[in-house]
Structures are given as C-alpha cells and as structure tokens.
C-alpha cells in the first residue's frame, strides 16, 4: 500500500474491478445452475431469469464504479488538510483496498457452489413453486448469517486496514493509520449493513 500511495495508477484498480465483475458473473452463473425449471414455459422462464441476471451483473459493475468514486471522495476529504493528498491517490488507495473484497468474493463463490442445493421449480404448479422459494429463502438466510456476515466483516476489517495504510502513506504520514482505518471502516460498515438489510 505504500508503493500504491506513492506511485498511484489506475491500471491495477481497473483490473481489480474487472475481476470483481467477472466473479459476479461466475457467481450468477452458479446460482442459475442451481435452479432447474420444469413444467410449462420452463425454457422461457429460464431465459428470462438468465437475462435479468445478466442485466444485474452489468448494473452491479456500474454501481461498483460509482461507489468507488464516491467512497474515494469521502476518504479524500477528511485527510486532505495539511497534506498534498490528491483525489487520484485517494481513489487508487480505495481501489486497491477492494482487493480484500476480491479475495472474499472468491471464497463466497466457492461456498455458493458448495453449499447451495439444487432447487427444482415446477412452473406448472404455483403452490409447489412458492414452497420451493420459501425453502430457498430460509436456506439463504441461514447461509447469510453463518457464512456471508462473518466473511463480510472479515473483508471490512482487512479492507479498512489496507485503506488506513494507504491513507497514511498517501498523506506523507500526516493522516494516522488509525484515522484512515476508522474512515474506511465506517464507510464500509454502511455498505455491509445496507447489503445485509436488502
């Protein structure tokens, strides 16, 4: 993070964000494979779900870019006093801190593939389909509590530490690692709580 802060470049950040998008696509593909639609209009429903998931992945990439820029501005502002801390440096530090999300996302994809059971959804029987979705919802809530939440907090702490180090070196050590950590942690906590509530 010291090297990143002293010689900021966007290439590594864009690579991290692109890999995150690819991982999102892989995760969506795995989720789609876990659903087997049978019965009336099964192929049309499968095509519709595939299209919706594709749009979600593209929108997620746009949201990640916007979130990265907004978070970079919120990190840059409180640490810029008394230093030559530029927005570019703040953006690169913030982007490289997403490496923690990348690693945890890779673990998450593996866990989804390993733990999410296959669901057969009969499109010709509405009651059976509703029961399948209710069972899936309970399983997903259990997975979120047991696996997703601890992984998200691990990523948050790791990302905050990386961001704190980058902020410290990017401001010529005028911003303490603790202050940088606190800024990254509070901003990340808002995101974690928002994603868990939704």
Secondary structure of 91-114 as H, E, C letters: HHHHHHHCHHHHHHHHHHHHHHHH
Mean pLDDT score of the chain: 83
d(CA 43, CA 49): 10
Check whether 198 has a pLDDT greater than 60.
no
d(CA 9, CA 155): 23
pLDDT band, very low/low/confident/very high, at 96 (cuts 50, 70, 90) = very high
Burial level of 117, CB count in 10 A (0-12/13-18/19+)? exposed
pLDDT score at 58: 83
Look at residues 96, 98, 106, 103 and name the one whose alpha carbon lies nearest to residue 12: 96
d(CA 36, CA 128): 13
Per the model's pLDDT, the better-predicted residue between 130 and 55 turns out to be: 55
Render pLDDT for 111-128 as a digit per residue (tens, 0 to 9): 888 887 777 777 777 777
Bridge partners (DSSP) of residue 121 are 37
d(CA 124, CA 51): 21
Check whether 195 has a pLDDT greater than 70.
no
Which segments within the chain are labelled E, that is strand?
35-38, 119-122
Q: Kindly state the tokens that stand for 140.
A: 């997903």
Please give the model's pTM, rounded to 2 decimal places.
0.77
What integer is the mean pLDDT of 99-112? Answer: 87
pLDDT band, very low/low/confident/very high, at 82 (cuts 50, 70, 90) = low
Provide the Cα torsion 178, 182, 184, 188; round to 10°.
Answer: 150
pLDDT score at 81: 66
What integer is the mean pLDDT of 126-146? Answer: 75
d(CA 24, CA 58): 9
What integer is the mean pLDDT of 37-41? Answer: 76
pLDDT score at 154: 92
Check whether 170 has a pLDDT greater than 80.
yes
């Amino acid at each position: 993070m010291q090297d990143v802060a002293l010689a900021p470049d966007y290439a590594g950040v864009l690579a991290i964000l692109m890999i995150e998008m690819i991982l999102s696509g892989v995760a969506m593909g795995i989720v789609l494979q876990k659903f087997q639609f049978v019965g009336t209009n099964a192929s049309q429903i499968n095509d519709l779900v595939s299209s919706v998931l594709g749009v979600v992945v593209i929108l997620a990439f746009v949201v990640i870019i916007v979130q990265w820029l907004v978070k970079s501005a919120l990190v840059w502002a409180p640490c810029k006093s008394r230093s030559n801390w530029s927005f570019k440096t703040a953006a690169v530090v913030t982007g490289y801190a997403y490496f923690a999300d990348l690693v945890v996302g890779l673990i998450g994809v593996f866990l989804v593939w390993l733990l999410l059971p296959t669901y057969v959804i009969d499109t010709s029987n509405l009651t059976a389909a509703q029961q399948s979705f209710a069972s899936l919802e309970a399983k997903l809530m259990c997975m979120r509590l047991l696996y997703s939440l601890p992984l998200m907090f691990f990523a948050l702490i790791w990302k905050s530490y990386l961001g704190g180090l980058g902020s410290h070196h990017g401001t010529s050590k005028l911003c303490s690692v603790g202050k940088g950590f606190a800024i990254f942690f509070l901003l990340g906590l808002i995101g974690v709580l928002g994603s868990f509530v939704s």
